[in-house]
Amino acid sequence: MKLTLAEPKYLRDSISIISELVNETKIKVSSDGMELTAMDPANVAMVVFKLLPTAFTEYSVEKPVDLSVNLANLKQILRRANPTDMLTLELADNMLKVQMKSASTRRFDLPLIDIEEKEQKVPELKYPVIIQTASVVLNEAIGDADTVAEAVSFTAEPGLFGLNAEGDLNKAAIEIKADDITRIEAKERTSSKYSIEYLKKMIEGSKLSETVTIQFNKDYPLKLTYAAIDKVMLSFILAPRVEND
Amino acid sequence: MKLTLAEPKYLRDSISIISELVNETKIKVSSDGMELTAMDPANVAMVVFKLLPTAFTEYSVEKPVDLSVNLANLKQILRRANPTDMLTLELADNMLKVQMKSASTRRFDLPLIDIEEKEQKVPELKYPVIIQTASVVLNEAIGDADTVAEAVSFTAEPGLFGLNAEGDLNKAAIEIKADDITRIEAKERTSSKYSIEYLKKMIEGSKLSETVTIQFNKDYPLKLTYAAIDKVMLSFILAPRVEND
Amino acid sequence: MKLTLAEPKYLRDSISIISELVNETKIKVSSDGMELTAMDPANVAMVVFKLLPTAFTEYSVEKPVDLSVNLANLKQILRRANPTDMLTLELADNMLKVQMKSASTRRFDLPLIDIEEKEQKVPELKYPVIIQTASVVLNEAIGDADTVAEAVSFTAEPGLFGLNAEGDLNKAAIEIKADDITRIEAKERTSSKYSIEYLKKMIEGSKLSETVTIQFNKDYPLKLTYAAIDKVMLSFILAPRVEND
């Protein structure tokens, strides 16, 4: 296995974001790309990550390989990569060899670990609501909601996407209308509530893409997707907060 | 009541500065503008704030209204305002409704509170010493004094404004001469001492205005004023530190 | 004694860096310049600092003077100097008088202290290895090593300079080849190990100079030198970490 990235950012930022939700995981490397599917330890959120072969300047994988790693450890090494470094990943002696090449050549060896983990499957989810908007619009709305509460309701109806949060003191209500920036697909009024603590970690995906796709349904998992064509796809699935009435 | 600001900065920054000195207060809204007069809990400092009707793009007040609010709470909401947002304040159901409008519309509801507070009156103060200078000049001098001590003496004489601080270890002495930037009105040598901890909070007023007016007298309250013509006026009155000799 | 600096940076940054290693010391002022030689309290590192008379716009010293100071105290005052201030040092009443002059005149008085310190002598060191490179290259390499371990091995051989660090988990290996930026003088493969904690403080010398000279030998002190011609010279000598095999 030898993989070379001319833009380390896609791998570095993705691993940095994912490491806030997941501690240890298997990264699968095959002719399809570099892929990761993992649950957070509380079983509330799932991450689905894919870095495409077309994102690499060299992508040679003889047979599929599983890289089991500690993500905090990998993140710490990848953050040493400068934007202009050529980043190469190789495998030897049960070690992941990470090389950063510019004027100097810097090599980090990271031990692979054993993970007794059952294969994570991405659930089949169907969504009546699909919203596409600028990442910064969602970031701002989650920031607003975070000012007043710990959970936020997402509501969609034809032409309108709303976020509502209610704390002990204050209330926040954000209204986003369909326009050039925001595309809203919703047949009827649909509402569901999600944890802001998790959302704050997920909207870091805005580092990878200027747009985000938001999918949800009543009392049903939320799906956020950040994608850069031919490069990277980072999705999050977040369990709803269901009120006990 | 409906008030709209095209430059949220004047309200946002003022409330942020005042909230470091005062917890809860009444904001009076009348045809004269939005006004606030409050003491800090230790009764050492007074804040006098006025946002003029000309600072607003819409200013409609049928009858005078008192908005009793928790300032930390209001500050937390106002800091969500971007420089280019249209900021609207309205009153309904004993709630202050704060709306920020750009591509999206974001609304925050803030509960009004009950305040058992006697009306604060701005004391009538007369000053033989008036100094006008660049805000940054005062900021720098207070920063210098803060390096060595907890209190600083202000001294004025014709043509000269001095600040002196003496700590257990070091001494600092700042001399500012009357010139294009600094105008000094003083008939005789006059000196008085003030708390640096309070001054550091007050010089944050430099966010509102590039110039500051400094008024004081021997063992008499200091008055600092930051003003932007037709927009905002923020004054602080600070009790002197009188030595027990 | 009256010394005036038009670029306070050389004194301010040097004292700031040295104060991280040394608490109290004598600064010698003579016709040769301003000099300081001191050990850190743990006797692991030595600092040698020299600010040349040509760095000053006025340099008048009648007879050699020792300024014994607390460096944290001096640093706190010097950090108040703006890049465009004229900085003057004078001596009176057992006080160091530091004056910063721009629009205003700011004066700080700093007490001299008593130091019962035996004269520090710079040891005579001979080096078979001399490397000159960009400060940022060494900074980056130490940053890399710091990610994985507490000590780093320096290795030189003809044409090649390497740094290796090995932690409980990860390994880092940096290879720097002789080129336009890096000049390497080494007759045979030579290796020695040093504390990263100390190195991190020393590479702050990169604030003074874009290049660094690195000298070492097997199980022998390392010497790092940052110099700006006709202005300043800051050297560090660091004891090796010798393995007990």
CB contacts < 8 Å between A and C, how many? 50
Are the C-beta atoms of residues C163 and C154 closer than 8 Å to each other?
Answer: yes
Is C170 domain-assigned? yes
Same domain as A68, residue A14? yes
Q: What is the pLDDT along chain A (245 residues), one digit of tens a residue?
A: 999 999 999 999 999 999 999 999 999 999 999 999 999 999 999 999 999 999 999 999 999 999 999 999 999 999 999 999 999 999 999 999 999 999 899 999 999 999 887 788 999 999 999 999 999 999 999 999 999 999 999 999 999 999 999 999 899 999 999 999 999 999 999 999 999 999 999 999 999 999 999 999 999 999 999 999 999 999 999 999 987 64
Query: Based on the domain organization, do A92 and A148 belong to the same domain?
Result: no
B103 contacts A174? CB cut-off 8 A: no
Looking at chain C, which residue has its C-alpha nearest residue B171? C109
Same domain? C135 vs C103: no
Structure tokens at B189: 């040598």
d(CA C53, CA C65): 14
Give the Cα separation of B33 and B26 in Å (integer): 14
Nearest by CB: B111 against A143, A147, A169: A169
Q: What is the pLDDT of residue A244?
A: 61
* pLDDT(B107) > 60: yes
B114 pLDDT tier (thresholds 50, 70, 90): very high
The answer to whether the Cβ–Cβ distance between A170 and B73 falls below 8 Å is yes
Q: Is C123 domain-assigned?
A: no
Q: Which of C138, C142, C170 to mutate to test the interface with A (most CBs of A within 10 A)?
A: C170
The structure tokens 């047949």 sit at A187
Domain containing residue C105: 2-111
The Cα of C192 is separated from the nearest Cα of chain B by a number of Å equal to 42
* Chain mean position to CA B174: 23
3 state SS of A66: strand
- pLDDT attached to residue A245: 45
Per the rule left: phi > 0, alpha: psi between -120 and 50, beta: everything else, A57 is alpha
Report the neighbours of C using a cutoff of 3 or more CB pairs below 8 angstroms.
A, B
| B137 and B101 in a common domain | no
Closest chain B C-alpha to C106 CA, distance in angstroms? 4
A104 within some domain: yes
For chain A, the chains sharing at least 3 beta-carbon pairs closer than 8 angstroms are B, C
The SS3 of residue A123 is coil
**pLDDT grade for B245, boundaries at 50, 70 and 90:** very low
CB contact under 8 A, A170 and B111: yes
In sequence order, what E strands does B52-85 have? 58-60, 65-70
Among C88, C94, C47, C93, CA closest to C71: C47
Residues of C in contact with A73 (CB under 8 A): 169-170
Residues C150, C222, single domain; the answer is yes
Phi first, then psi, for residue A83 (nearest 5°) are -55, -30
Contact: C103, B147; criterion CB under 8 Å:
no
To the nearest whole angstrom, how far is the Cα of A83 from the nearest Cα of chain B?
30
Q: Between C144, C173, C181, which is nearest A103 by CB?
A: C181
Residues B86 and B8 in one domain: yes
Let me know if residue C244 belongs to a domain.
no
Q: Do C80 and B147 touch (CB under 8 A)?
A: yes
CATH of the domain at A72: 3.70.10.10
Indicate whether B93 and B43 sit together in one domain: yes
| Judgement on whether residues B57 and B142 belong to the same structural domain of the protein | no
Residue B117 lies in a domain: no
pLDDT, position B126: 96
Q: Which of C203, C207, C213 is CA-nearest to residue C231?
A: C207
Question: Mind listing the pLDDT tens digit for each residue in A114-151?
Answer: 988 778 899 999 999 999 999 999 999 999 999 999 99
Q: How many CB atoms lie within 10 A of CB B177?
A: 14
Tell me whether residue A120 is in a domain: no
Chain A CB contacts of C147 below 8 Å: 76-77, 80, 108
Residue A188 is predicted with a pLDDT of 97
Instruction: Give the end of a domain, one of B111, B141, B156.
Output: B111
Asked if B136 and B202 sit in the same domain, the reply is: yes
Assigned domain for A122 exists: no
> Minimal Cα distance from C163: which residue of A?
A106
DSSP string of C171-235, one letter each residue: EEEEEEE-SSS-EEE-SS-EEEEEEHHHHHHHGGGGGT-SEEEEEE-TTS-EEEEEEETTTEEEE
Please give the pLDDT value at position A103: 86
Alpha helices in chain B (DSSP H): 9-18, 71-78, 135-148, 196-202
ipTM value of the model? 0.91
Pair (A57, A136) in one structural domain = no
Give which of B172, B179, B165 is closest to B131, Cα–Cα.
B179
Res A176: pLDDT = 97
pLDDT of residue A181: 95
Last residue of a domain, one of A111, A144, A160: A111
Residues in chain C within 8 Å Cβ distance of B175: 104-107
- Residue C120 inside a domain? The answer is no
Q: Chain A partners of B104 at a C-beta cutoff of 8 Å?
A: 137, 140-141, 174-177
Looking at residue B103, what is its pLDDT?
86
Residue type, B125: L
Last residue of a domain, one of C111, C146, C174: C111
Chain A residues near residue B111 by CB distance under 8 angstroms: 169-170
In angstroms, the separation between the Cα of residue A2 and the nearest Cα of chain C is 19
Would the CB atoms of B179 and C73 count as touching at under 8 Å? no
- Please indicate, yes or no, whether residues B137 and B178 belong to a single structural domain of this protein: yes
- Cβ–Cβ gap B144/C106 under 8 Å: yes
CA distance C12 to chain A (A): 30
Q: What is the pTM of this model?
A: 0.93
Q: A110–C143: do the CB atoms touch at under 8 Å?
A: no
| Identity at B24, one-letter amino acid code | E
> How far, in whole angstroms, is CA C50 from its chain's centroid?
10
Per-residue pLDDT in tens (0 to 9) along chain C, 245 residues: 999 999 999 999 999 999 999 999 999 999 999 999 999 999 999 999 999 999 999 999 999 999 999 999 999 999 999 999 999 999 999 999 999 999 899 999 999 999 887 788 999 999 999 999 999 999 999 999 999 999 999 999 999 999 999 999 899 999 999 999 999 999 999 999 999 999 999 999 999 999 999 999 999 999 999 999 999 999 999 999 987 64
Residue-level pLDDT at A44: 97
Rounded Cα–Cα distance for residues A17 and A110 (Å) = 19
Q: Residues of chain A whose C-beta is under 8 A from some C-beta in B?
A: 137, 140-141, 143-144, 147-148, 169-177, 179, 181
Among the partner-chain residues A77, A103, A106, the one whose CB lies closest to the CB of C170 is: A77
Pair of tokens at residue B112: 């009004």
Query: B interface toward A at CB cutoff 8 Å?
Result: 70, 73, 76-77, 80, 103-111
Write down the pLDDT at residue B117.
Answer: 72
The answer to whether the beta carbons of residues A100 and A6 sit under 8 Å apart is: no
Test B105 with A174 for CB contact under 8 angstroms: yes
pLDDT at residue B150 tops 70: yes
When divided into structural domains, chain B yields a total of 2
Say if residue B118's pLDDT is above 80: no
CB contact under 8 A, C172 and A107: yes
pLDDT given for residue B244 in this prediction: 61
Q: Give the pLDDT score at B243.
A: 73
Same domain, C99 and C154: no
CB contact under 8 A, C103 and B179: yes
- Coil, helix or strand at residue C92: strand
